[in-house]
Amino acid sequence: MRVAFRPAFSFTLLLSFVASALTGASAQRPAQDHPGQYSAIDIETGSRLYAGQCALCHGATGDAVAGADLRRGVFRRSVSDEDIAKVITMGLPDAGMPGFKLQPSEIDGLVAFIRAGFDVGGTAVRVGHVGRGQALFEGKGGCTTCHRVNGSGPRVAPDLSDIGAIRTPSALQRSLVDPTSAMQPINRPVRAVTKDGRTIRGRRLNEDTFTVQLIDEQERLVSLLKADLKEYELAKTSPMPSVAGKLTADEQADLVAYLLSLKGTR
């Protein structure tokens, strides 16, 4: 459903600070050409500027303007950091975006904040080894029992092929340790019973006043009219088990590293 995200192209600080710990896996990460480019101070500066100057239009989560999702690295036309800086400075008059007269350090801060996925505290999350994380994902962690990555695995739980592009490190760690507290409301498990007695279980994909769309346990896309249902329940608890107590802190860090490396297929 959510394959519209363009692959993100940069990672910057969030991974670069552990770059020295990464050897074999670094080749697959495009952001390694500017290690240490941004500091935590840059990100913090950007965060403050963003709240004051940008959030009004782009929203607190960076996706309020159609066609742009700044936190997740989706832009209408920018590719490089220089492109982003130019858009901030010059604006996009035809799209209604004004130019901003900012100091170079302020521009750097905004770019850093955007590239950091709006995650000011993100540096606090330990990010381990991608290869080891992948092994955990496919083995001991049991993640592939429900999740799909790059075309393999079940579709019952959300496909994680681009999860590294759409979640911050701290959000991923929260998902692993306390899945319920991190479950996106749209993903809540549905249990519906039709008036003719059929029970349908699945994961919610969309809902409006009269209908709900989901993917059921047999991985079928299902659309239900609420008027046809005699029961409709959304679970507030995530069906995903926590890794706490099952994986060590090092293993969790490795898993986060692997998840962050998933940037979507081209």
Partner 1 sequence: MTKLTRCALPLALVLASFELHAQVTSDRIRRASSEPRNWLTYGGSYTSQRYSLLNQITPANVGRLESKWVLQNQVFGAWQATPLVVDGVMYVTQRPNDVLALDAKTGRVFWVYRYTPSPDARVCCGSNNRGVAILGDTLFMGTLDAHLVAIDARNGRQLWNTTLADVKLAYSITLAPLVVKDKVMVGVGGGEFGIRGFIAAFDAKTGTEAWRFYTIPGPGEKNHDTWKGDAWKNGGGSVWVTGSYDPDLNLTYWGVGNPGPDWNPDQRPGDNLYTDSVVALDADTGALKWHFQFTPNDAYDYDSVQVPVLVDMNWRGPAAKLMLWANRNGFFYVLDRVTGRFLSGTPFVKVNWASHLDERGRPVQTPQPPGSPTWPGNQGGTNWYPPAYSPRTELFYFSVWENYASIYRKETVEYQPGRNFSGGGFTVLTPVPGAPSVGIGRRSPINNWTNEVGSGAVVAVDPRTGERKWKFDQFDVTDSGLLTTASDLLFTGGREGYFYALDAKSGAMLWKASLGGQVVAAPITFEVDGRQYVSVISGHTLVTFGLRDGGD
Is residue 104 at the binding interface for partner 1, with CB under 8 A as the rule? no
Is residue 75 at the binding interface for partner 1, with CB under 8 A as the rule? no
Smaller CB separation from partner 1, 186 or 244: 186
Virtual torsion, Cα 79, 82, 85, 91, nearest 10 deg: -60
- Report in angstroms the alpha-carbon separations of 177 from 130, 159, 172, 250, 257: 18, 19, 9, 13, 15
Nearest to 110 by CA among 78, 70, 57: 70
Q: How far is the CB of 48 from partner 1 (least distance, A)?
A: 7
Task: Tell me if 144 sits within 8 A of 265, measured CB to CB.
Answer: no
Q: Which of 95, 221, 225, 249 binds partner 1 (CB under 8 A)?
A: 95
Stretch near partner 1 under the rule CB under 8 A, chosen from 56-64, 153-161, 216-224, 252-260: 56-64
Residues 1-30 that bind partner 1 (CB under 8 A): 1-2
Element (H, E) at 190: strand 189-194
Is residue 181 at the binding interface for partner 1, with CB under 8 A as the rule? yes
Q: Which of 12, 78, 134, 168 binds partner 1 (CB under 8 A)?
A: 168
Q: What is the distance between the alpha carbons of residues 158 and 115, in angstroms, rounded to a whole number? A: 24
Is residue 177 at the binding interface for partner 1, with CB under 8 A as the rule? no
Is residue 125 at the binding interface for partner 1, with CB under 8 A as the rule? no
Q: What is the distance between the alpha carbons of residues 99 and 51, in angstroms, rounded to a whole number? A: 16
The residues, ordered by sequence, that sit 6+ positions from 243 with a Cβ below 8 Å of its Cβ are: 141, 176, 177, 251, 252, 255
Stretch near partner 1 under the rule CB under 8 A, chosen from 126-134, 151-159, 205-213, 257-265: 205-213
Give the residues lining the site for partner 1 (CB under 8 A): 1-2, 48, 51-53, 55-57, 59-61, 63-67, 91, 93, 95-96, 98, 100-101, 167-168, 171, 174, 181-186, 205-210
